[in-house]
Amino acid sequence: MTLPAKLVISVIIPVHNGGASFRYCLSSLANAMPAPAEIIVVADGDTDGSWLVAKEFGAKVLRIPTSGGPAKARNLGARAAIGDILFFIDADVTITPDAIGKVEKAFSDEPELAALIGSYDDAPGASNFLSQYKNLFHHYTHQTAKEEAFTFWGACGAIRREIFLGLGGFDESYRRPSIEDIELGYRLKNAGYKIRLCKDLQVKHLKYWGIVSLLKAEIFYRALPWTELIWRDRQLSNDLNLGLNSRLSVILTYGLVISLLAAWWSPGFLAVAFVLGFLLFVLNLQVYRFFHHKRGFWFALRVIPWHWLYYLYGGLAFVIGTARYIFSVRFA
């Protein structure tokens, strides 16, 4: 009996001025057992010598003189890869020593599997509140989602090389870190391919989030383009951030805000606001229990206003993104 050939894994990392986090990323790959067949680093117009750090760790380095975005960088790395499986990770994450083995096993056990994604772990690298909140919320969202995924994820996602290249790779029109990975996932699903969320494949995110950087990324690089993508592909499935609870929470949050504003003229609306706030809290109680379990009562209490703000700007971005999509279609 002939045993099936062992799958070859190529790790691909786009980097633009990766700093200390990038060194931690490469250090974690150096400790991987088994090791990947190759590590390809695409230096996307970096000016801090990240490509030299990659050379120091023995990675194959490709350089782009002017930054073109992670989609372009990942595509360049994919075309140069030798592996059967392309394992994309971000330059600001670290992997566990067994991550490569988990990826290889998943594809070996499921020949029909086209792609898989992992999640952030529950111990983010940056210690400030917003970084902990943002990354823990991401962890919670993925860990409570269905294993049949509808999107891809570039921070920790693997795909069969022949399928990736056959679909044309990432859409390079996304010039910043945006939703190029989600867009690829939608094309995978529309082509009939299987994507699996592997909840035990987790990476540590080292990124520091501040108020401005968080809101800018969430609204302009994620929510707005994602809305337009949803309408383009008519992809309204209950996946990750698009579940029924999230939709109802957006409605309740706006009802709460309108009620509070109306209370300036008619105090009776305070009772309406209280009821809507209570319903919003109960609807998301599982989320707040998660944060309470992970970080304690006071942390969970601080999460609530940020979580409700998330529904506010998410709902607003959906309306604006919808208007932009309609305008672009009508006047194309």
Q: Which domains does the chain have, with CATH numbers?
A: 9-213 (3.90.550.10), 240-330 (no CATH)
> What local confidence, expressed as pLDDT, does residue 235 receive?
65
CB contact set of 32 (below 8 Å; sequence gap of 6+): 95, 97, 98, 99, 100
How many Å separate Cα 60 from the centre of its chain? 25
Answer yes or no: are the C-beta atoms of 170 and 68 closer than 8 Å. no
- How big is the chain, counted in residues? 332
Which stretch of DSSP H or E encloses residue 85? Answer: strand 85-89
Greatest distance between any 2 Cα atoms in the chain: 81
> What local confidence, expressed as pLDDT, does residue 241 receive?
59
Bridge partners for 202 per DSSP: 119
- Lowest-pLDDT range of 201-215, 292-306, 311-325: 311-325
Mean pLDDT (whole number) for 307-316: 95
Cα(228)–Cα(320) distance, integer angstroms: 9
**pLDDT for 67-115, tens place per residue?**
999 999 999 999 999 999 999 999 999 999 999 999 999 999 999 999 9
> What local confidence, expressed as pLDDT, does residue 245 receive?
85
> What local confidence, expressed as pLDDT, does residue 101 receive?
97
**Could you count the other beta carbons within 10 Å of the beta carbon of residue 158?**
34
Q: Give percent above pLDDT 90 in the chain.
A: 85
pLDDT above 90: residue 2: no
> What local confidence, expressed as pLDDT, does residue 161 receive?
98
In angstroms, the Cα distances linking 82 to 12, 41, 101, 162, 169 are 11, 14, 17, 11, 16
**Could you count the other beta carbons within 10 Å of the beta carbon of residue 200?**
12
**pTM, two decimal places:** 0.94
> What local confidence, expressed as pLDDT, does residue 1 receive?
41
> What local confidence, expressed as pLDDT, does residue 4 receive?
57
Half-sphere exposure of 144 (CA within 13 A, CB side): 16
pLDDT: which is higher, 332 or 296: 296
> What local confidence, expressed as pLDDT, does residue 236 receive?
61
Answer yes or no: are the C-beta atoms of 225 and 183 closer than 8 Å. no
pLDDT above 70: residue 123: yes
Which amino acid is present at 301? L
Which residue is listed with tokens 């294993």? 147
In the chain, the N- to C-terminal Cα span, in Å, equals: 59
Half-sphere exposure of 28 (CA within 13 A, CB side): 24
Bridge partners for 142 per DSSP: none
> What local confidence, expressed as pLDDT, does residue 3 receive?
45
**Could you count the other beta carbons within 10 Å of the beta carbon of residue 183?**
23
Average pLDDT across the chain, whole number: 93
- Show the DSSP H helices in the chain as ranges: 19-30, 50-56, 70-80, 99-109, 129-143, 161-166, 180-190, 211-216, 224-233, 244-262, 269-283, 285-295, 297-330
> What local confidence, expressed as pLDDT, does residue 6 receive?
86
> What local confidence, expressed as pLDDT, does residue 246 receive?
87
pLDDT: which is higher, 252 or 246: 252
**pLDDT for 178-226, tens place per residue?**
899 999 999 999 999 999 999 999 999 999 999 999 999 999 999 999 8
Tell me the two tokens of residue 77.
């790395």
What is the DSSP secondary-structure string of 56-73?
Answer: HTT-EEEEESS---HHHH
Answer yes or no: are the C-beta atoms of 43 and 61 closer than 8 Å. yes
Say what the alpha-carbon torsion angle 226, 291, 136, 255 is, to the nearest 10 degrees.
10
